[in-house]
Amino acid sequence: MRYSVFVSKISPPLSSSIIREGLKEEPNLKIRLIDPAYRDPFVSHTQKVIKNIWFARLTLTTLAALTPPDIDVGITDENLEAIDFEEDVDLVGVTGMVLHAPRAYEIAERFRQRGIPVVMGGPHASSCPIEAKEHVDAVVIGEAENIWKGLIEDLKNGSLKPFYKADAFCSMKGFPPPRLDLLRKEAYMTVNCVQTTRGCPYQCDFCHVTHFFGKTYRCRPVEEVVEEVKRLEGEFVVFIDDNIAGNRPYAKELFTQLKPLGKKWASQASMTLTRDPELLKLAAESGCVSLFLGVESLSPENLKDVNKSFNQVPQYEEAIRILHDHDIMILAGLIFGLDHDDEGVFEKTLRFCERNRIELPSFFILTPLPGTPLFQRMESQGRLLHKDWGKYNGATVVFKPRLMTEETLQRGFNWLCKEGYSWRSIFRRVLHPQQRFFTRVLSNLAYRNIALRAPEGHIPSLSRILQKMNDTIPLQNTRDLIHTVGEKITEKRAQIGQKAADTLQLYSTYNERLKTLFIRLEGSIDRKGANELVKRLRGGLSDKIEQVILDFKDVRAFSSEAMTFLSRKGFLQMEEGKLCRSIDPSLQNQ
């Protein structure tokens, strides 16, 4: 599940508890279901933005569809209209993600002051049920399909339980059509939202999806999905799945059945979709025009740390090109503040988006959501700054980053949001021959309106230096290279690879907390490469860097001239069996 600032996510149903004593059983009980607003100068959306980019959530419309027909049920989306706290109702249901919790509790308090019972569900209540119960009468933990009718019976009998949790996950067969008629349809980009699957086959450490739906991936019958799509007016549909292609045989059947309908659709998928040409072709032919992809990071180490190594960084650019070749617009989710992110990550990621013409990059600060492995790990490490849930919004630093201070991460992120949706960056990303040019432009304008509200930020001072220190230096003379075990490189070239023989690769990371620049060298070094390395080091050192560590362990070959030059400069020394060098920047001019 992506904790998106710009793209809304489904956050499943609700529940209830203690009720007013002596509630009379009347033929028409009245239930009000409420989607709380999130009020923040940057993250919250105006009604104009909602109209341009926001699709309706299915949480409350699904719950309304599960409500017995003899009960009067209504929906209030507080993002669009004010809550009537004086309304005469018998039960209030509130949903919400983590960032909505404070407002959800406020809403519950207002109704409970009038003696109206409140039930709460959704990701946050399911993750923190004991906390939620302090503010409401009943808490639904997990999916509500199997317990909602029983909860209503308890309501009628005046015997709401404090907690409701189904014994098993619900069946994906026979879903009632969501009550889209209860929404203000004209206020959203679209209300044509359909769910085909629940869950995700992957278990990324930061994601709430696995925690909420369990380690399951369940699919609705294709024929039921197709019939629901047929009933929708208009030509555009949003499939609100967390990974629409998580089951490839199912996805192929679904896309095949969608083709005759002539609809255009958008959804979310993993980048593994691009590795199946047949599946991708079917998706495009069935009407796929836009996909949200969890790119997350350009660092393989980061992806490994959060259990997302199925994203293959070397394949990113080819995967993006393939999607564009199929005229599919890309919304890329990108996370900042992971453990291998340093000050250079903001500019590096933005240039990647511009170079690959990613139409709508969505930027998020890493947010440890309660219940996820990431949250548990950070809490055990003492890295959480607080549990003010309203700030767990994907745009505010709520933990201690590993390689940056909190201030550097926040300012760098703010800079990225503004710079990423500057006119210059927008033109770089959208001016390409893919179809739907005006759609790309209008979407960027909507995102730009959000980005302009971001607090002021600035690019970290070492960003440009780090770009230069993460680079490839070509070699001039490879004939005289000597393999590190003493053999001529010409005799070992086939074994170590052409690239390693002909280039010197620099991999640099700056630890702001240690004020240390770590540089790992890989490949080969000739005299020219050695000179360029020293030149970059001298030009790159700054007052912020107190120490530089050079690691030569992945250098496969040196020329004798390079070794002599580096030794003379004091760059080669043995430490614990490794060639490395610690440099005091105060000596940079020597």
pLDDT at 294 over 60: yes
The percent of the chain in helix, strand and coil, each rounded to the nearest 5, is 40, 20, 40
Which residues, 6 or more positions from 526, have their beta carbon under 8 angstroms from its beta carbon? 475, 476, 477, 478, 480, 481, 558, 559, 561, 562
The average pLDDT across 341-346 equals: 97
pLDDT in tens, 351-380: 999 999 999 999 999 999 999 999 999 999
According to the model, what pLDDT value does residue 204 have? 94
pLDDT exceeds 50 at position 552: yes
pLDDT at 483: 66
pLDDT on residue 585: 45
The two tokens of residue 372 are 């996820």
Give helix 406-420 / helix 437-451 axis angle, nearest 10°: 140
What is 43-80 written as a DSSP string?
TS--HHHHHHHPBPPSHHHHHHHHS-TTSEEEEEETTT
Whether the per-residue pLDDT at 106 is higher than 90: the answer is: yes
Beta bridge partners of 551: 520, 580
Q: CA–CA separation, 123 vs 59, rounded Å?
A: 11
Query: What CA dihedral angle connects 258, 266, 204 and 506, to 10 degrees?
Result: 120
* pLDDT score of 569: 78
In this prediction, residue 573 has a pLDDT band, given cuts at 50, 70 and 90, of low
The three-point CA angle 461-464-465 to 5° equals 90
Residue range 259-287: average pLDDT? 96
In order of start, what are the domains of the chain with their CATH numbers?
Answer: 30-165 (3.40.50.280), 190-451 (3.80.30.20), 463-587 (3.30.750)
Report pLDDT for 505: 92
Within 8 A by CB and 6+ apart from 152, the residues are 29, 31, 67, 68, 71, 91
- At 227, list the tokens: 């019939």
Alpha carbon of 426 to those of 87, 354, 463, 522: distances in Å? 46, 8, 21, 35
> DSSP code of 363?
E
Cα separation, 295 vs 271, in Å, equals 7
From the list 331, 316, 286, 319, the residue with the least C-alpha distance to 430 is 331
Q: Over the stretch 218-247, which tens digit does the pLDDT of each residue have?
A: 999 999 999 999 999 999 999 999 999 999
Give 44-68 pLDDT, tens digit per residue.
Answer: 777 777 877 788 889 999 999 999 9
* Mean of all residue pLDDT scores within the chain: 87
- Please check the confidence at residue 486 and state whether its pLDDT lies above 90: no
Ranges 147-156, 397-406, 550-559: which has the least confidence: 550-559
Q: Which residue matches tokens 């004086």?
A: 86
Amino acid at 106: E
Q: Average of pLDDT values for 418-444?
A: 88
What's the whole-number mean pLDDT along residues 145-164?
96
Write the CB contacts of 425 (distance below 8 Å, at least 6 apart in sequence): 350, 353, 354, 419
